[in-house]
Structure 1
Amino acid sequence: MKNEKGFTLVEMLIVLMIISLLLLIAVPNMSNNNEVAASKGCEATVKLIQSQVYAYEIENGKLPDKLEDLSPDYVDKLTCPDDSELDYENGTVSSKSS
């Protein structure tokens, strides 16, 4: 009788089952994290543009009339990372999605 080294079919099936279970647990958590990251990205964009509104006010002595007045000198893009629009009223920037 030969002494062959290797994995048996049962051992391979157990390993595949464990990997499948880990994937079933990990994939839904990753999709939830993407939603959280997108909302945090929009919050960060609002704060960034709000700070640029203050910079505009310091340099020009008045608040901008509209967000488009900040482009291109103060900001490059006036939308959130998910391309949702921003609101601007009385010197305050906010997200339309919130």
Structure 2
Amino acid sequence: MMIVLLIITILVLIAIPNVTKHSKSIDEKGCAAYIKMVEGQVQAYKMDKKSIPSLSSLETEGYLPETPTCPDGTAITIDADGKVGS
């Protein structure tokens, strides 16, 4: 029983640093994917309404959920040309 607990402890000690090391990379990739999704919603809004949307109009029209942010908490912005950034 002690040997099994020792092996499990060693595996946990190996796994936890790897997960925490990659969490920043995961957040960055998640934010990039979310920005691509918002760009798609901006294009859909342009086709439907024939104008460049603001972030609040995308929210009120139902194209995006309330307070759209990246998974890491970074705010999303849309400039006057319709380009999405963080």
What band does the TM-score fall into relative to the shorter chain? 0.7 to 0.9
Give CA-to-partner distance per residue, 1:2-59, whole Å, 9 cap, x none.
Answer: xxxxxxxxxx554444333222211101112332322222112111111111011111
1:48 aligned onto 2:37: yes
1:70 aligned onto 2:58: yes
Give CA-to-partner distance per residue, 1:57-91, whole Å, 9 cap, x none.
Answer: 11111212x21111132111321123211122221
Unaligned 5+ segments in structure 1 are 1-11
For residues 26-41 of structure 1, the aligned pairs below 5 Å read 26-41=15-30
For residues 1-98 of structure 1, the aligned pairs below 5 Å read 12-64=1-53, 66-73=54-61, 74-77=63-66, 78-89=68-79, 90-95=81-86
Report the structure, 1 or 2, having the larger helix content: 2
Q: TM-score, normalised by structure 2?
A: 0.77
Unaligned 5+ segments in structure 2 are none
- The structure with the largest alpha-carbon Rg is 1
- Looking at structure 2, the residues matched to 38 and 79 of structure 1 have their Cα atoms a distance apart, in angstroms, of 12
Q: TM-score, normalised by structure 1?
A: 0.69
Q: Give the aligned length.
A: 83
Tell me how large the CA RMSD over aligned residues is. 1.9
Secondary structure of the 1:80 match is coil
